[in-house]
Amino acid sequence: MSDNAAVLTLPDILDGLEALYTKYVVFPNEHCAPTAALWAAHTWRVNDAYASPRLVFQSATPASGKTRGLEVTAHVSFNARMTISSSTAALFRRIGSAHHNGQTPPTICFDETDAVFGGGRPSEQTEQLRGLMNSGYKRGATVDRCEGDASEMKVIEWPVFAPLAMAGLSGNLPDTITTRAIVIDMKKRTSKERVQPYRERSVKAEVEPLVRGLAQWAQDDACSLAGVYPDMPRGVEDRAAEVWEPLIAIADQAGGQWPKRAREACTAFVFKPRGGTPPMGIELLSDIRKVMGHGGDSEYRTVDRIRTTELLEKLRALSESPWGELDAGHGLSPRKLSRLLDAYDVRPITFRDSLSSTAKGYQVASNDRQAGLADAWDRYLSPPEPTAPHTPSPKSVTTVTTVTPQVDALPIGNPSNRVTVTPKPVTDSPSPVTSKVTDVTDVTDFQRMATRQAVLNSLSPNVASNLGAIMRQVKDATGSGATTGDELDQLEKEGTVYRDAKGHYLLTRKQAS
């Protein structure tokens, strides 16, 4: 670009930064390059921001593009300083000097962080460095240091607010840093993924127009972002909002596609599962919300109270969950369940079921003893995605002939008795296809009838059975034991079965006779 060339606009600059990253770095998804571009831009106006998110390139193995991503970032960030083993004293003096002189703080690019934080028990130097990285995340943060000899010792406050980008192996950075960071999990390139050869001098010349444009943008008072509070995506609050506000503010100022892409990236990073297994308590809360029908999953009926036995049954039946394998294969126990939930102020309650029987379990609402499941879900889980109701297509409805299925009544007998379903013959309807069509019983309705009958059979002749015994018999009879708890609950509400003081199920006298 010549000296007389037109100045790049902010959208042009961001587009150019994104293209630069994708030219030399292979990212794991489409949100990473625009995020890195916005982060590099924010370093030029970091004094307008309340917080400066840390940018982390990490991977499970070496040679995955971490350092390359950091190098490209250093080329286009404000006054970037690459370092590997800089001391804490050197860093806070470098950053503090800029603040004392009324200048924008430099961008610190720290490579091989695993060499610093991956050495087992942290040293005093490591803890000081961690403290600087944490406190330097927010504007106005300072580090106190004593300077001078013994006779004239005085405390000096060093400002440490500055942009910080890091690269290193996964699993070594402290949580106090990663929770203030945008973490990009890099991967090795596949044989089909290609990048352009990276040559330091060539890249430096290549980015000159972008750097010049960023410098002019940073000096334009009309482009100030101070006091700007952009609208954040749904569910992005508190620390996550602090991290993403400066980037989304820049995207909003750029306009065009950038506001939408920035918010999509924000949502993807904030709500993506972090590496490793989530804490057991968080996983438990999520699974309880699911099986109680509050997780946006139409597979489960929504209930506001649930017996402990039924909750454990549903949790153990979840595929790809640990609840059926705990305690040497015995599964999650009531005591373990209570202990895990107690940390979230959720405790067992005693309530009356539909037959006025006393039951132990958990509820969504709070009471004077505990905060309730709803409170824990709201505090510790992301908002559930709403599930759209299923609507049959017009094509499938208009081609259905009017049907009224009938099921012959079945006597209560031995569990081995077969369940016979005898639908009435289907006759052609003279009505036009546009006439109102009655509801058609789904195949699953017949399966549920079979399960219901098998549950009743397992209790005949009026023998008290616990839930486990009923489950075994129903599985043998129908192979659909996953719905047994729901059927028992429904039968109990109808007055067909009841539970005695020991919690055993029995048929009511009317049904047993």
DSSP string for 186-210: --PPPTT---PPP-HHHHHHHTHHH
The backbone region for 485, taken as left when phi is positive above 0, alpha when psi lies in -120 to 50, beta otherwise, is alpha
pLDDT tens by residue, the chain, 513 residues: 445 566 799 999 999 999 999 999 999 999 999 999 999 999 999 999 999 999 999 988 888 999 999 999 999 999 999 988 777 888 888 898 899 889 999 999 999 888 888 766 667 778 888 888 998 999 988 888 777 777 778 888 889 999 999 999 887 888 889 999 999 999 998 888 999 999 999 999 999 999 999 999 999 999 999 989 999 999 899 999 999 999 999 999 999 999 999 999 999 999 876 555 567 888 899 999 999 999 876 688 899 999 999 999 999 999 888 898 887 778 899 999 999 999 899 999 998 876 667 889 999 999 988 999 999 999 888 887 665 554 544 444 444 444 444 434 434 344 444 444 445 454 454 444 444 444 544 545 555 666 677 777 766 655 566 655 666 566 544 454 446 667 777 777 777 777 766 667 777 765 555
- Answer whether 66's CB lies under 8 Å from 55's CB: no
Q: How far apart are CA 241 and CA 232, in angstroms?
A: 7
Q: How far apart are CA 56 and CA 49, in angstroms?
A: 19
Q: How far apart are CA 486 and CA 470, in angstroms?
A: 13
- Answer whether 507's CB lies under 8 Å from 486's CB: no
* Helices and strands per DSSP (H, E), number in the chain: 20, 12
Q: Count CA atoms within 13 Å of residue 93 on its CB side.
A: 8
Domains of the chain, by residue range, sit at 10-271, 280-380, 397-425+439-512
397-425+439-512: same fold as 10-271?
Answer: no
Domain 10-271 CATH assignment equals 3.40.30.10: no
Domain 397-425+439-512 CATH assignment equals 3.40.50: no
404 SS3 class: coil
360 SS3 class: strand
- Answer whether 76's CB lies under 8 Å from 20's CB: yes
